[in-house]
Amino acid sequence: MSKTVQTAVMGVSGYAGVELVRLLARHPKLARTAPPVLMGRGETVGLTVERMHPALADIQGTGKLRVEAFDWKTLAERGVEVLFLATPHETSREMVPEALERGLRVIDLSGAWRLEQAENRAVYGFKDENRIRVEAAQNEAVYGMPELHRAQIRGARLVANPGCYATTAILALKPLMAAEVVDAECGVICDAKSGVSGAGKTPTATTHFMHAAENLSAYGVYTHRHVGELLEQLGLSREAMTFTPHLLPIARGILTTSYVRFRDAMTQEQMHAIFAEYFADSPMVRLRYAILPEIQHVVKTNYCDIGWKVAPDGRRAVIVSCLDNLLKGAAGQAVQNLNAMMGWTESEGLE
């Protein structure tokens, strides 16, 4: 398609926000439009991108882009059609209903709209003042994983970008769940490890250098916000899923090791056939067969690498999946969703 689109980004001060600006400013399909409109509130208003993120001071002038005070009228005057929200969950929950009412299409990087079931959404503690308005938006939300929902994303007005942990686990397990070869009654285990940037830019007692460096720690056991995404997208019960996230002393990247038991014996080749068929039209998934992926293979790319080993008895398997939490786990996947929305090649601007 030759159509292009004017974009805007709300929330450019964080790690995912800056990656999003970088990708949109250099996206080949957006070259004929004005640069993305950058919107913010508070202390970021008036700052240039290079003031916040010196690495974006390039010859294309990306670093000279300036953050404007958020205003719906400004978005309309600038002809914005697609609004990216790299904002806190509560902010996105507040802004999206009005954005839809104003005719904007939204790609939201927060967890505000990812979960269909209220019991899973309760972990965010949203206090929706206008429930009718919010429920109308929630009913429109499409879970933004193109490998699973590209047809729905194409016509969506609201795309909820998946969580970074959830992306690694779902891509590793969905083909097997869809093929109905996993014995869910035996339980599924996901052991996931992420770099510090996954916790966001604001430092905490557990993410500052003195705690994270030369350390490895588990957290959010049975309480992590991404668990609901796994349950809904994989069709598993809460009792069948054990998900444990860990903090790695590295800047970026996620490695998730998933453990499954099969209903009947499987071979390495049978697993490959299942994955290959499921991801046949998914350019951002790289199958590594028996070569187990590593974080260094995917960092600063939008690929999710998947590899696996079947046990000698054929009844068990270990699946390893890796991605960059700021790209395929956040900003890169958001741009992939834009590509799917517009009918462009999903890998456009991401390779």
pLDDT of residue 234: 98
Q: What's the total number of domains in the chain? A: 2
Residues 312, 253, single domain; the answer is yes
Range of the domain at 314: 164-323
280 domain residue, yes or no: yes
Mean pLDDT for the stretch of residues 93-116: 97
Q: Which residues are catalytic?
A: 164
Residue 335 predicted with pLDDT over 90: yes
Contact assessment for residue 321 and residue 305, using Cβ atoms and an 8 Å cutoff: yes
Buried b (16+ CB within 10 A) or exposed e, 32-55: eeebbbbbbeeebeebbbbebbee
Q: Which two tokens stand for residue 180?
A: 């109905």
Residues 270, 337, single domain; the answer is no
Q: What is the pLDDT of residues 82-92, one digit of tens each?
A: 999 999 999 99
177 domain residue, yes or no: yes
Q: Are strands 105-108 and 141-143 parallel, antiparallel or unpaired?
A: unpaired
Q: Rounded to whole angstroms, how far apart are CA atoms 322 and 338?
A: 22
pLDDT of residue 1: 44
Q: What is the pTM of this model?
A: 0.95
Residues 59, 135, single domain; the answer is yes
CATH number at residue 299: 3.30.360.10
Residues 100, 12, single domain; the answer is yes
Residues 91, 176, single domain; the answer is no
Q: What is the pLDDT of residues 123-153, one digit of tens each?
A: 999 998 889 999 999 999 999 999 999 999 9
pLDDT of residue 77: 97
349 domain residue, yes or no: no
Q: What is the pLDDT of residues 225-261, one digit of tens each?
A: 999 999 999 999 999 999 999 999 999 999 999 999 9
Residues 203, 155, single domain; the answer is no
Q: Rounded to whole angstroms, how far apart are CA atoms 41 and 12?
A: 10
Residues 200, 268, single domain; the answer is yes
Residues 156, 185, single domain; the answer is no
Q: Rounded to whole angstroms, how far apart are CA atoms 46 and 303?
A: 34
pLDDT of residue 38: 96
Residues 176, 146, single domain; the answer is no
Residues 241, 262, single domain; the answer is yes
Contact assessment for residue 343 and residue 154, using Cβ atoms and an 8 Å cutoff: yes
Q: Which two tokens stand for residue 276?
A: 């290959």
Residues 21, 169, single domain; the answer is no
CATH number at residue 157: 3.40.50.720
Q: What is the pLDDT of residues 147-205, one digit of tens each?
A: 999 999 999 999 999 999 999 999 999 999 999 999 999 999 999 999 999 887 777 88
Residues 173, 52, single domain; the answer is no
Q: Rounded to whole angstroms, how far apart are CA atoms 120 and 246?
A: 21
